[in-house]
Amino acid sequence: MATTIETDLKEILDRIDKRLGAIESDVTTIKIDIATLKADVTTVKEDVKDLRGSQRSQIWVLIVAVVGAIIKFGFFPNP
């Protein structure tokens, strides 16, 4: 028993071409999203670095203020 499939090769190739076009579009969108994500991660890294530096500065200001208060009120009490 022989089975015959009759489909126009042009139709099949057109459907394959459309599907490949859709896949190519999706891949392009994914590449753009990844590039955007990389830029966002870089920005977040820089922000965290700035926050760490700012935090260190604030800690040193607090330490100096506490030591200054101890010196002022410990060694030179109000009369």
pLDDT digits (tens, 9 = 90+) for 9-57: 899 999 999 999 999 999 999 999 999 999 999 999 999 988 888 888 8
Please indicate, yes or no, if residue 1 is contained in any of the structural domains. no
Please indicate, yes or no, if residue 61 is contained in any of the structural domains. yes
The CA distances from residue 27 to 40, 48, 64, in Å, are: 20, 31, 56
Please indicate, yes or no, if residue 48 is contained in any of the structural domains. yes
Residue, of 7 and 14, whose pLDDT is higher: 14
Please indicate, yes or no, if residue 23 is contained in any of the structural domains. no
CA distance 55 to 67: 18
Please indicate, yes or no, if residue 67 is contained in any of the structural domains. yes
Range of the domain at 76: 28-79
Number of domains observed in the structure of the chain: 1
Question: Residue 6 pLDDT > 80, yes or no?
Answer: no
